[in-house]
A and B are shown apart, each in its own frame.
Chain A
Amino acid sequence: MDQLFVNLKNMALHLIGVFAPDWLVSLSSILISVGAMTFLGIFIMMYLTLMERKVIGRMQNRIGPNRVGKWGLLQPVADAIKMLTKEDIVPEPADRLLHFLAPVMIVIPALLIFAVIPFGRNMTALDLNVGLLYFFAMSSTTTMVIFMAGWGSRNKYASLGGMRSVAQMISYEVPMVLSVVPVLLSVGSLSTGKIVEAQADLWFVLTPWGFFACVIFFLCGVAECNRSPFDLPEAESEIVAGFHTEFSGMKFALFYMAEFMNAFSIAALTATLFLGGWQGPLLPSWLWFILKTYSLLFVMMWFRGTLPRLRADQMMGLAWKFLLPLALVNILAAGLHLYLGGPAGFASALIILLGSFMGLSKVNRSYVPEKREYVLAD
C-alpha cells in the first residue's frame, strides 16, 4: 500500500514504453508527475476552501455550506463556476500587462514549491539536494509579484496594501529561515527527503529546540501566507482587500488558490521538517503525510476562527523582537543539544530555551499607549 502511487506510475510508464521511443518515455514520466502535482494542487485548493468554511462554521456553532451536494461537498465546484463566470473587471488607469500577469505569476511559485514536498516514501517529485533552500527561494519571489499586483492596479489602497504585506512577509522570512537552521544542523543536508529519513526514530518536534523551531516556523509560515492572526493586509475591516482589491473573476480565484496552496505547502513542510513527514508506524507513508498536514491545516483554521487580528506594529514587533531572537537562541540550544548529546544536552537546551522564552516575553510586554484624555468639544 505504501508505494501505491509509485507502482501506478511505473505501470503507466511501462504501458507507454511499449509503443513509444525511450526519450518519449522519460519525457512522459516527467509529465505524469507534473500532471499529478497540478491536479493535486487544484483539488486540494478547492476542498480546503470547503474544509475551512466547515471548520470555521463549526467553531461558530453553525453548520457551514451543506446546500450544494451531500454535506456541501460540491460547494467548491459551485464557487469555481461562479469565479469563472464572473465578469473580469480591469480598472481603466491600470497597467494592462501587470494586471494580467500578476495572478499568473503568483500561482507559479506556489505550484513550484510542490516539487520539493515529500508526499510519501520516494514520492517527492524532485529531490534536490538544496530542496529547502529551493522552498525559501520560491516563497521569496512572491513579494515581487505582490508589488506587481498592488502597483499594476494603480489603486492607492492596493499599492499601500501591497507594500504592507511585502513588509510583513520580509519581516517573517528572516525568523523562518533561521528557525530551520537547527534542523539542518542535526540532519546535515538541505534535501527534504534526507530530513524525513533522519526523523525515522525521533521526530524533531520532540526535542526542545525542535519544538520551539516548529512553533516559530509554523507561525512565520502562517504570516507568510497572510493568514489568520497576521492577515492584516487584506482583512475586510482594514484597507479594503489588500493588494488584490482590483481583481475579480478568474484572477481573484487564482490569488485565492495561490493563498491556499501556500498554506498547504507551509503545513506540509512543517510536517516534513518537524513532525517526521511521512514517517509513521502502521499506515502507508503518504497517508501519514496527509494526516499530519491536514491536522496542521486544522490548527491554522483554528487560529482563524479564534485569534483576534494583530495590529501592524504588534505584528512587526513579534517578528523582529520576539521570534528572531528566539530563533537565534534556538540555534544555540540545538548546537548545545547535538554537541553534548544525551540528557545533559537535552536539559541544558531546555533550560536555555525556557529562560530565553521567559526573558523575551517579559521584555516584549505589550505596548500600552498612555491614557489619552479626550477634550470634549465645548
Chain B
Amino acid sequence: MVEMVSNPMANEPNPTDIQTTKLYEAWGLTEHEYDLIVDELGRLPNYTETGLFSAMWSEHCSYKKSKPVLRTFWSKNERVLQGPGEGAGILDIGDNQAVVFKAESHNHPSAVEPYEGAATGVEGILRDIFSMGAQPIAVLDSLQFGDVTSKQTQRLIDGVVAGIAGYGNAIGIPTVGGAMNFDATYQHNPLVNVMAVGLLDQDLLHVGKAEGAGNVVLYVGATTGRDGIQGATFASAEFDSSEDQNRSAVQVGDPFMEKLVMDATIQAIQEYGDVIVGVQDMGAAGLVSSTAEMADKAGMGMILDLDQVPQREENMTPYELMLSESQERMILVVKKGHEDAVKQIFTDADLNAIVIGEVTDNKQYQLTFDGALVADVPVDFLTSAPKVELPQTEPARLVEATTAQYQPEVTDATAVLKQLLAQPTIASKAALYRHFDCSVRADTVIKPGGDAAVVRVRGTEKALAMTTDINSRYTYLNPYIGGQWAILEAAQNIVATGAEPIGITDCLNFGNPDDPEIYYELAQSVAGINEVAQVINTPVISGNVSLYNETDGTAIYPTPMVGMVGLHTSTDDITTIQAKQAGDVVYLVGELKAQFNGSEIQHMQTGSVSGDLFSINVDHAQAVQAKILEAAQSHYVNSIHDIAEGGLGVAASEILFGTPFGAELTLAAPIGNAFSEAPSMFIVTVAPAEQAVFEALMGDEATKLGEITENPTLKLVAQDQTINVSVSDVESMYKDSLWQQLQ
C-alpha cells in the first residue's frame, strides 16, 4: 500500500496564491465576487472557503442571474402549501393530502455521459420529493434531441432512455409520461428534464430548516467520494465541443441504495416527524449546499466535523468532501437527544447514519478537519450570492418578423398527413418509452400514449393528471407567445383527461444569460407562462433553471418546459383520447385558426421555422378549456383529444389508433387548415344521446365534423381536397416511423 499522505491539504494553493493566480475564476467566481468575499471576511479566503463560495454562488445553486425573472412568478393561491424555494412545491388536494412536485434539468451531465447523466437526473428529482416527506408516485421526462438520424443522437437516445429506465424501474417509481422532441437546435445540447410527483400526508409537511442551537446534523446514506466535484459550476458553464475535460464531473447512481434511503427517510419522517426539524437532500454542491441552506433558512449557524463524514476514497480534502456530488445522501437535522432513535431507522436498513455536526447560534458556517478549523464564513453571506442585473435586448429576428403566415403546399393531402405522422416529433415514442416501467405501484390509469398521464390516489376517489410540454419552435419565433402556448398546451392535455389544472413546475433551458438577447428570451418566456398561469389558476410552485446551453457560441432555442399537475376529484371523470363506438358524433372544439408559422408542416416542408405567431386570446383559450373540463366532468363525452403538433389531421388520426373504428369528417375550410396549429383546440366524440346537452354547453365553441364509423377508414372532406385513407395505413406510419429511423 502507498504511504498515506499525512495532510491531504498540503498541496493546495494558499490564499495568496489563489488571489494572485485568480484560481477562483476557473471555478466560476468573478473578480468582483472574489473581492466581495475578501471584504466580508476581512482576510483572504482559503482554498476550501473559495470552493464553498464558488459552488454556492454558481448560477445552479444561487440563481443569481435568473432570480430577477423567477421572482416575478405567481406562486400563491389557496392550494399552495409550499411555493418555490424548497426541495419541491406542495399543493393541497383535499382530505388532508397534498401533491408535491418539481422538475429538474440534467442537460450537461447527460450530454457528456447519457446513461449516468439521465439516471442521476431521475435520482436527484426523486430525492427532492422524498426529502419533503412525500412518497414519490410518478416520474415524467421531457427530452429534446437533435437530428434523429445522426449517430450521435442515437447514442444519446440509447443512453438517456436506458438511464431513465435503469434508475426509475429499479427504484420502483413508474415513469408515466413525458415528451420527446427532435430539432437540429439540440444537436450539441440535448436537454434532459425530469419531473417527479409525490403524495404527502399534510401532517408530515416538512421544510428543510435547521432550527434550534445544539440540534444535531445527521448524515445518512451513501459514502462520499470524489464524484461530481464542481458539478454545480459545471452546470453553470458553456460547452466547448473541443474539450473533454468536463468528464470528471460525472456521478454514478445506485438505485438500490437510493431506494433504501428513500424508504428509510419517509419512514423516519413518519415516525419521528416531531423531532426531525429539517431534511434536505444532497444534490448540486452536495454537503455545503444542503447544510448551509438549512442553517440560513433558520437564521442559525452550523459547525461540521468533516472527519466524521463517511468516505469512499482515501485522502479526501475538506474541499472535496464539501463539494462532492456523490449520490444517495441526505442531511437531517434532529432535535438533540433524539438522534439515536432516528439513526436506528437508517442503520436497520444497512445505511450510514452519522452525526457530523450541530446547529449553532453564531450564524457562522464552520468546518473542522483533522482537529483544525478549515472554514469559517457567515452563513447568510455564503448563501446569498450578489445579485446580477442583466441587460435585455430584443433579438433582431423578432423585431423583423411578421405574422404573415407560411402557406403549406398540399397537393396530395393524404400523403402530407402520412408524412406528418412520420415526423419524429409526432410519431409514436412507444418503442422508446416501452423501456420505462409505467405500471409499477399498480396505480397508473392512463399510461404513456394519452394526452396526460393519470395516476390514481389509492384509497380515495381522486386521481392526479400530469404532463410536460414545450414546443421550442414557438418560443423561438416568439418567446412570450411561445411561453403562453407551452402552459396552455399543458393545460389542454390535463383537461382532456377530465382533470382540473392545479399547478405547474418548470425547467427554464436557455443559452448564456449574459447575452442580452438570451436574457430577453428568458424574461419574455417567463412573462408569457406567468400571465397564463394566473388566468388558469395554476401557481408556479417549483422549477429549475438551466442556462449556458450553448455550444461554440450557438444557443439552443429558448426551451421553457412546463410540467403541470391536474386533479380529478373522481376517477369516474377520467377521459381518454380513443374513439369509443361507431355512430358517436365528432366535434372540433375551439377556434381553428390558419396558423402555420412554427408548425410541424412548415418545418417538414421547409426544413426550418420562421415568421411571427398570432397573439393568443388567453381568456378565450381558458374559456374553451373550462368547457371541455365541464363536458368531461358531466360525462357528456366519450373521448377527448387535444389538437397539437400536426393539427386536426393528426389528432383525428390518433383518436382512431388502437380502435377498430374509422371516421367520416367534413371540414368547412381548405384542406391546409387541417394541419394548422393553435392552442386550445380539441377533437371530441359524443354519443348521439348526449349530443343536445353537449351542444348546449359548448355553444359556439363546438363545430360538428362528422361521425365515428365502423369502417376503419379516415375520410376528411375539405373544401378543396379529401383525405381518404385506411386507418391501418396511417397507424403504421405513426407507429413504426421513429423506430425505423433509429435503426
Is chain B a partner of chain A in the same complex?
Answer: no
**Chain B residues engaging chain A, CB cutoff 8 angstroms:** none
